[in-house]
Structure 1
């Protein structure tokens, strides 16, 4: 590593850095849309050893040297891209290293000691600035190979479309999976309610459009303060439903059909999981947004218009209040399910299954 010091030239040879395995991850932020991951890594101390040659017009010195960097912080980001042939690969890697304190020991400086000390006093980071570009270059090379190797192991020869992001491609596969599982159209269980002589029955109800979900905003994951969090924003296109109703009052019975459409449904969900696997996952945020609602009834005669007016007008006027009212009960229900999950046991079971299978495993998450 050559570095010009003005009146002298410093060359550092056979340089090795120690202590890199004692890192702690301070933060991770993953943006699945832009396929970018940012991370912050802390090192209490990094030890750098090597040999040096310090030469000037009138003298020359050489020998071993030691540099101790304390409170080292490494900030890096990696961006992936889909190549023209459909393979996922590393696009850009950016890194920066800073430190809180530094101590140096250059042995056998002799006559050049006072000159070198004067240069260091005026520019204390000069030795670190000489090492930094080479450290970054080596880290880029190693990380690029490591990331691409793991991508190849995970995806194999699978090709991805480069017209849309891999995230949107995965969501499209999710829509296909929902249809294959028979959830779209979805059959709603029949409902039967009786209150004295009055009875209501709703049967043969189907809802379609559930698989039309798409990414509304971004999908991000982060790790901070020993907690992993995931934020998802999804929405559906138009939801259509139809069913048969039957209303009875004593000996009188009316039968009819109902059709309804919901312009869209959008949801924002944020969940978190502490790295302490003895703790349970938490649902931190849950927000719903519903578009315009329209209902059509037939079979009740004049009451059809009354029912349509009541359903079409009131829910649309009050849908924001309705969404706010159902968010907390749903959030509490989901949290109850999370509280029943033994995270530590689930992770052990997945690891054992991974060891036995020797390959990537797909997991089904069911509530």
Structure 2
């Protein structure tokens, strides 16, 4: 399996574990399947993609965080009373909707934003003062909860990818509380009761974040260590994947790339181009960032790549009426070609991808002719001057047809079937 596949696997593992556990309905429908990380990668992908075929997907099937999550017993002393909280659990961690996922593949960084309509802390309390005591169940409800997380993969000395600390934070907009059986103490210590909700949230927040960080990071690293691929720490895994891609292009015989012979006839004139080739196709590199983001259940992939100097050569022959012919050669160079594109793909893979943007930049073009005598200079002048003067207009003119053609190709792609064909390759990674 090539480097690109390993990077995608790592991002898949990291993404799946930066998001908390599945809903109880998902767990039941999956027949109490094991946690996401304990399954084959192909099964993980199928579960997630099937989940996103719903109109309003909530949560992610299978992850190493429990819902409800138990929290430790707590005790807090106020001015006139002491409160103990026992057998408390946080409910609703799995009922999230993904606001966004943003990744920087070059830096191997990932940020996640989740929205939860309601989190509930349910448990039992005891409130004691010097003259009275009450106890019973309590309920603290947090509304419009927002969870944000940031994770990063780094290459360690041994060349193994390693997930670093996962930084997370939890914010909420509103809070409501209900303490049963307070009786007289409820009205007497109303100020205390009003501050209990914030105290509980501030107390359980570090526990939740530590639990998530420890479990997810440990689970991610356990599976990353199962990958046999190692990486140098002097180059990012993405750039290493591009380097392998360049080698693959050369091994496949695409650099130099031999073009098919071409002929064109107009009246008594016939032009033949033979033995044509172009080199430099494997010189592509990353110009800008390669990003993968997800918003509103749509994945956006942005790529900005370019080539270095391209060179080519062809043999030409012009025939006039079969009586007069002239042959020669032409050498051309293109300083560079840059391509910036963005493609969107709904998480519902039954839908087709869409080419959102396509932008080309072409460097200086030079052509050297040989064989046409004096006409060599005329042809060179026309070819070398006009395309460079009108380079931007020409590029803008061809971008539209190219974009239309690329979109036609995308419309013919069955994404669901294509993914299914590639899934067996993921299972070669033994987790």
TM-aligned CA deviation for residue 128 of structure 1: 1.1
Residues 5 and 119, structure 1, Cα contact 8 Å, conserved in 2: no
Counterpart Cα distance in 2 of 1:275 and 1:238: 38
Counterparts of 2:251 and 2:357, CA distance in 1 = 30
Cα deviation digits, residues 21-50 of structure 1 (max 9, x gap): 332222111111121111112222222233
Per-residue deviation, residues 294-349 of structure 1 (Å, max 9, x unmatched): 11111111111111111111111111111111111110001101111223333444
Task: Report the Cα distance in structure 2 between the residues aligned to 1:98 and 1:186, rounded to whole angstroms.
Answer: 56
Pick from 265, 270, 292 the counterpart of residue 221 of structure 1: 292
Residue aligning to 2:96:
23
Task: Give the C-alpha shift of residue 115 in structure 1.
Answer: 6.0
Q: Secondary structure of the equivalent of 2:89?
A: strand
Among 335, 338, 345, which residue is 2:417 paired with? 345
**Quick one: distance in 2 between partners of 1:286 and 1:347?**
24
- Is residue 42 of structure 1 aligned with residue 115 of structure 2? yes
Q: Confirm or deny: 8 A CA contact 2:149 2:168 kept in the other structure.
A: yes
In structure 2, what is the equivalent of residue 359 of structure 1?
428
SS at match of 2:220: helix
Report what 1:171 is aligned to. 242
1:83 equivalent in alignment to 2:156: yes
More strand by share: 1
1:278 aligns with 2:350: yes
Q: Matched residue of 2:164: which SS? A: strand
The two structures have a TM-score, normalised by structure 2, of 0.76
Q: Give yes or no for the alignment of 1:183 onto 2:254.
A: yes
Q: Partner residue of 1:150?
A: 223
Map 1:27-176 → 2, pairs under 5 A: 27-52=100-125, 64-107=137-180, 109=182, 113-114=186-187, 117-121=190-194, 125-153=198-226, 156-176=227-247
Q: Which runs of 5+ in 2 are unaligned?
A: 1-71
8 Å CA contact retained: 1:44, 1:71: yes
What residue is the counterpart of 1:200 in the other structure?
A: 271
8 A contact 1:82–1:160 mirrored in 2:
yes
Select the residue among 339, 345, 352 that pairs with 1:267: 339
**What does the per-residue CA deviation read over 1:154-188, in whole Å, with 9 as the maximum and x for residues that have no partner?**
xx132111001111111111111111111111001
Q: What stretches of structure 1 of length at least 5 have no aligned partner? A: 362-367
User: Contact 1:120–1:126 at 8 Å: present in 2 too?
Assistant: no
1:249-289 deviation line (CA, Å, top 9, x unaligned): 23111111111111100000110112233321100100000
Q: Does 1:301 align with 2:370?
A: no
Q: Aligned equivalents of 1:53 and 1:89: distance in 2?
A: 44
User: When the two structures are aligned, how many residues end up with a matched partner?
Assistant: 356
Report the CA distance shift for 1:57/1:273 in structure 2 as closer, same or farther (over 3 A).
Answer: same
Please identify, of 265-274 and 87-96, the stretch whose mean Cα deviation from structure 2 is larger: 87-96
The DSSP-based 3-state class of the residue aligned with 2:94 is: helix
Deviations 1:123-178 (A, max 9, x none): 7523211211111111111111122233234xx13211100111111111111111
Q: Which residue pairs with 2:8 in the alignment?
A: none
Q: Distance in 2 between matches of 1:78 and 1:59?
A: 49
Tell whether the 8 Å contact from 2:109 to 2:153 is kept in structure 1 after alignment.
yes
Q: 2:406 aligns with which of 326, 329, 334?
A: 334
- Name the CA distance, whole Å, in 2 between partners of 1:123 and 1:106: 10
Moved more, 119-128 or 267-276: 119-128
Q: Distance in 1 between matches of 2:427 and 2:139?
A: 44
What is the aligned-residue RMSD (CA, Å)? Answer: 2.5
Distance (Å, rounded) in 2 between the aligned partners of 1:38 and 1:115: 46
Q: Distance in 2 between matches of 1:121 and 1:55?
A: 16
